[in-house]
Structure 1
Amino acid sequence: MSVLYVVVLAIISVSLMAVALYRTSRVKTKADYLVAGRSLPAIVLVLTLLTSWIGAGSLFAGAENAYKNGFAALWQPAGGWLGLLLIYFIAPRARKFAQFTLPDLLEARYNQTARVLGTFAILFAYVGITSYQFKGGGDVLHLIFPETISAQLGTYLIAAFVIISTALAGMSSVAYMDVAIGSLVTVICVIAAPYLLMQAGGWAALHTSLPPAYFTWLGNFRIDSHGVEQPVVFGVIKGLEFLVPTLLLMLGNQVMYQKFFSAKSERDAKISVAGWIVGTLVLETLIVAIAVFGRALYPTGEVALHPREIIPYTARHGLPAVLGALLLGAVFAKVISTASNYLFSPATNLINDVFVRYISPGATDKRVLIISRLAVVLLGCWALYQAVYAESILQKMLWAYTIYSAALTPVVLAAFYSKRVTAWGAVAAIAGGTLVTLTWDLRAVHDNLPAVIAQRDAIFPALIVAVVLMIVVSLFTPKPTEKQLAQLAD
C-alpha cells in the first residue's frame, strides 16, 4: 500500500513540476508572469478559481469544524456561496479595469496611501493563509509515511516544493496546474462521499452513531468554552463568525481579482463565475459530508486528538487502497495549489505595488522577473516560519480571513458600488480594520474587555470599526473626482 501512495504522489508531483517548467518557457514579460498574459479562457478560469479557493481552509479547517459540529460546518462555505452571487456582477467590471493587483485598484479609486496600507494588509493575510497550507500538507505526508516523515519535516518538504514551482512561472504556472488539480479533486470527492456513507451504515446508522446536534443548523455552536449550553443567539453569532469572514474574503479576494485580470475577455470572466458557483456548492458540501462520515467511522483515537486530519485519515483508513491513495493525492495537490496561489499573490504586491511603483519604475522585464522570483522565495520562508509555530489551522484561518475581510473588502466593494466613499475614508477603514485584528488577542487588550466580548473572534469588532471609520471620515472629506469614479464604472 505504501508503494501505491508513493507512486500516486510521485506522479502528481512530477506532473505539477512539469507544468511549471513548461509554462516557465512561455514567460517572457511582466504581464506573462503576473497575469498569464491576460490569456486565460473561461474553462481554465473556472478550475483555477475553484482550486485556489478550496484548499487547507476547507480540507483541514472546514473538516475540523465538521468533525466537531457536524453539518453546521456548512456555515463556513455558505459565506463563499453568498459572495459568489455578488461576484457574478463584479467580474466583468474587474476584467474591464485590467490591472495587475488589488492595490492598483485602490490607488486608482482612492490614493497612494490606500495602496500602501492595502499592500500590508494583503501581506499579513495571504502569508498567513499560505502558512496553514504548508502545515496541512505536512500533516498529509506524515499520515502517508508515519514512520519516515514527521509532520514538521512534511511541512518543510511541501514548502520547498511550492516555493520552487511558484517562483518558476508565476500565474501561468499556477493557473494551469489548477486545471488538473481541480478536475482530480472533484471526481474523487464525488466517488468517495457515497462510499463512506455506505461504510458508516447509511443515513439511519449515521443518525444513531452521531450526536443529534450534528444534524441541526447550529451544531455545537451554542456550547460555550465551559461546556454550558447558551441561548440560540449565541449559536447564531458563532455561525456568523464563520460565515462573515468567508463571505468578505470571497468578495475582496485579490487572488480572484488577479484571475479576472488574467481573463481573455469580460465575457470569459463572467462565465467563469457561473461555473465556479456550481463547483463550489458541490465540492464544499462533499468535503463537509466526508468529514462528518469520517467522524462516525473514527470517533476516537489519534484523529480525535487532531480532528483537522479527518479527511486524509479517512482516505488512508476508510477507503479502498486505490481510491484512498487518489483522495490523499488530491488533498496533497489541493494544498499545493492553494499555497501557490496565496504565495504568488502577495509576491505580485511586493513587485507591482512596491518595487516597480516606488523603487525601480523603469525596471526591465528581465529584472522584474528576477525580483519577482526572489519575492516568492522570501515570502515562502516567512510563511514556513508561521507554519512551524501555528498549532490550530482553524484559528489561523479565521485570523487571516478576518484581517483581510475587515481591512480590505469594505473599501473594495465601495470602489465598485459607492460614489461617496472618499480616499481618506478608505485609508481610515483599512488602517482601523488591520489594527483591531492585529491587537484583538493581545493580553493588554483582551484583559480589559468584558468577558462576553473577549471570548468572541475579532471579525465583528474589526469590521464595525472599519465600516464606521469609512463612513464617518468620508462625510468630512472631499468627494472622489469624476476621473476616479469613471475607471470602475459600468
Structure 2
Amino acid sequence: MSSLYVILLVVIAVTLMGVSLFRASLVKTKADYLVAGRSLPAIVLVFTLLSSWIGAGSLFAGAENAYKNGFAALWQPAGGWIGLLLIYFIAPRARKFAQFTIPDLLEARYNQTARVLGVIAILFAYVGITSYQFKGGGAVLHLIFPGVISTNMGTYIIAIFVILMTALAGMSSVAYTDLIIGSLVSVICLIAAPYLLIHAGGWTGVRAALPATHFEVLGNLTMMRALEFLLPTLLLMLGNQAMYQKFFSAKSERDARRAVVGWIIGTIVLEVAIISIAVFGSALFPTGEVAKNPSEIIAYTARNGLPAFLGALLLAAVFAKVISTASNFLFSPATNLVNDVFVRYISPNVGNKRVLIVSRLMVVLLGCWALYQAVYAQSILEKMLYAYTVYSAALTPVILAAFYSKRVTAWGAVAAIATGTVVTVTWDLPAVRGLFPAIISQRDAIFPALISAVAALILVSLFTPKPSAEQLAKFAG
C-alpha cells in the first residue's frame, strides 16, 4: 500500500512542479507574475477560486469541527456560501478596477496610510493561513509514512515544496496548478462520500453510531458559537485579497462574473462532501488514535476506511489541496510586499527583471515565517479562526465600503483597519486576558474586533471630510 501512496504523491508533485516550470518560462513582466497577464478564462478562474478557498481550513479545521459536532460544522462553510452570493455582484466591479492588490484599492479609495495598514493586516492573516496549510500537509505525510516522517518533518517538506513551486511563476503557476488540483479533489470527494456512507451502514448505521446532536442544526454549539464560525468565514470571503487578485487576473468582467457562478456551485457541493466524509468517518472510527487528533479524520479515514486505491487517491487529493491553498495564501502577501512596499516606496522605477527577483525573494521569506508559525501552532482550528478574524475585522468592512459607500472617509478606513488588527492580535495576550478573564476565555475575537472596527469606521467618517468625486468615480457600479 505504501508504494501506491508514494507513486501517487510523486506523480502529483512532478505534475505540479512541471506546470510551474512551464508557466515560469512564460513570465516576462510584473503583470505576468502578479496577475497572470490578466488572461485567465472563466473555467480556470472557477477552479483556482475553488482551490484557493478550500484547503486545510476545510479539510482539517472543518473536519475537526465535524468530528466533534457533526453536521452542525456546516455553520463554518455556510458563511462562505452567503459571501459568495454577495460576491456575484462585486466581481465585475473588482475586475473593472483591475489593479494588483487590495492595498492598491485602499490607496485609490482612501489614502497611503490605509494602504500601509492594509499590508500589515494581510501579512498577519495570510501568513497565518499559510502556516496551517503547512501543518496540515505535514500531518498527511505523517499518516502516509508513520514510521518514517514525523508531522514536523512533513511540515518542513511541504513548506519547501510550496515555497519553490510558488516562487517560480507566481499567479500563472498558482492558477493553472489549481485547475488540475480542483478537478482531482472534486471528483474524488464525490466518490468517497457515498462509499463511506454505505460502508458505515447507510444513514441508519451512521445515526446509530453517533450522538443525536450530530444531526441537529446547532448540534453541541450555542447560537453564539455557531455565529463565531460563520461570521469570520463570511467576512473573509467578502474581503479575500486572493479572490480579488483572481478577479484582477480575469480576461474580462464577464469572465469574472461567470466564474463566481461556478464557484458557488462547486463550493457548496465540495464542502458538504468534505463535512460528510468527516461525519461518516467519525461513525467508523469514534475512538482510538484519531479521537486524540480529530483534525486528521479525513486523512485517517482515507487511509483506514476506504479501498486501497480510492483511499490513496483521497489522501493524494488532500495533499494536493493543501499545497494549492498554501501556494495561494503565500503568494498573495508576497505580492503586497512587492507591489505595495518595494515598488510603491523603495524603487518606483524598477524594471521587470528586478521585480521578478524581489517577488521570488519575498515568497521565500514569507514562507519561512509561515513555517515558523506552523511548527509552533497548537490547533489548526484555532489558528484558522485567528487568521480569518484579523482579515475579517480589519479589512472586509473598508473593502465593502470602498465599493458601496460614498460617505466613508480615508481616516475612517484607517481607524477601522488599525482597530480591527489591534483588537484581534491582542485579544488572547495574557495581559489582556487578565483584565477580562470571564469574557475573553469564553469568546473568540470576531465580535469585539468587528464591532470595534465598524464603530471606528462610522464615527471617524462622521467627523472627517467626505471623499472627493475623483476617489469615488473608480468604484461606481
Please classify the TM superposition score into its range, dividing by the shorter chain length. Answer: over 0.9
Aligned match for 2:316, one of 326, 329, 339:
329
Shift of residue 450 of structure 1?
A: 5.4
1:131-152 Cα distance to aligned partner (Å, 9 max, x none): 0000000000000000111100
1:303-326 Cα distance to aligned partner (Å, 9 max, x none): 000000000100000001110010
1:451 partnered with 2:433: no
How many residues align structurally?
Answer: 477
Shift of residue 415 of structure 1?
A: 0.3
CA distance in 2, matches of 1:72, 1:185: 23
Aligned match for 2:255, one of 265, 268, 279:
268
Map of 1:135 onto structure 2? 135
CA distance in 2, matches of 1:315, 1:254: 32
CA distance in 1, matches of 2:469, 2:423: 33
Q: In structure 1, what residue type is equivalent to 2:408? A: V
Map of 1:394 onto structure 2? 381
> Which 10-residue stretch deviates more, 135-144 or 439-448?
439-448
Shift of residue 449 of structure 1?
A: 1.2
Aligned match for 1:282, one of 252, 260, 269:
269
Map of 1:319 onto structure 2? 306
1:470 partnered with 2:470: no
1:175-190 map, 5 Å:
175-190=175-190
1:95-150 Cα distance to aligned partner (Å, 9 max, x none): 00000000000000000000000000000000000000000000000000001111
Map of 1:295 onto structure 2? 282
Shift of residue 220 of structure 1?
A: 1.1
CA distance in 2, matches of 1:301, 1:51: 31
Map of 2:76 onto structure 1? 76
Do 2:428 and 2:440's aligned partners in 1 also have CA atoms closer than 8 Å? no
Map of 1:116 onto structure 2? 116
1:479 partnered with 2:454: no
CA distance in 2, matches of 1:443, 1:327: 41
Shift of residue 444 of structure 1?
A: 1.3
Shift of residue 454 of structure 1?
A: 3.6
CA distance in 2, matches of 1:326, 1:31: 35
1:356-395 map, 5 Å:
356-395=343-382
Q: In structure 2, what residue type is equivalent to 1:59? A: L
1:235-289 Cα distance to aligned partner (Å, 9 max, x none): 0000000000000000000000000000000000000000000000000000000
Map of 1:436 onto structure 2? 423
Structure 2-normalised TM-score? 1.00
CA distance in 2, matches of 1:281, 1:483: 39
CA distance in 2, matches of 1:390, 1:166: 23
Map of 1:60 onto structure 2? 60
CA distance in 2, matches of 1:73, 1:454: 22
CA distance in 1, matches of 2:242, 2:89: 17
Could you say what the CA RMSD is over the residues aligned between the two structures, in angstroms? 0.6
Shift of residue 448 of structure 1?
A: 1.4
SS at match of 1:447: helix
Shift of residue 453 of structure 1?
A: 4.7
Q: In structure 2, what residue type is equivalent to 1:142? A: H
Map of 1:225 onto structure 2? none
CA distance in 1, matches of 2:464, 2:394: 20
CA distance in 1, matches of 2:49, 2:370: 22
Map of 1:159 onto structure 2? 159
Map of 1:147 onto structure 2? 147
1:238-277 map, 5 Å:
238-277=225-264
Structure 1-normalised TM-score? 0.97
CA distance in 1, matches of 2:366, 2:207: 46
CA distance in 2, matches of 1:74, 1:194: 18
The unaligned stretches of length 5 or more in structure 2 are none
Map of 1:228 onto structure 2? none
The unaligned stretches of length 5 or more in structure 1 are 222-234
Aligned match for 2:397, one of 395, 410, 414:
410
CA distance in 1, matches of 2:244, 2:58: 20
CA distance in 2, matches of 1:106, 1:339: 25
Shift of residue 168 of structure 1?
A: 0.2
Q: In structure 1, what residue type is equivalent to 2:137? A: G
CA distance in 2, matches of 1:311, 1:208: 20
SS at match of 1:27: coil
Q: In structure 2, what residue type is equivalent to 1:363? A: V
Shift of residue 177 of structure 1?
A: 0.1
Map of 1:217 onto structure 2? 217
Identity of aligned residues (%): 78
Shift of residue 452 of structure 1?
A: 3.9
Aligned match for 1:420, one of 367, 392, 407:
407
SS at match of 2:435: coil
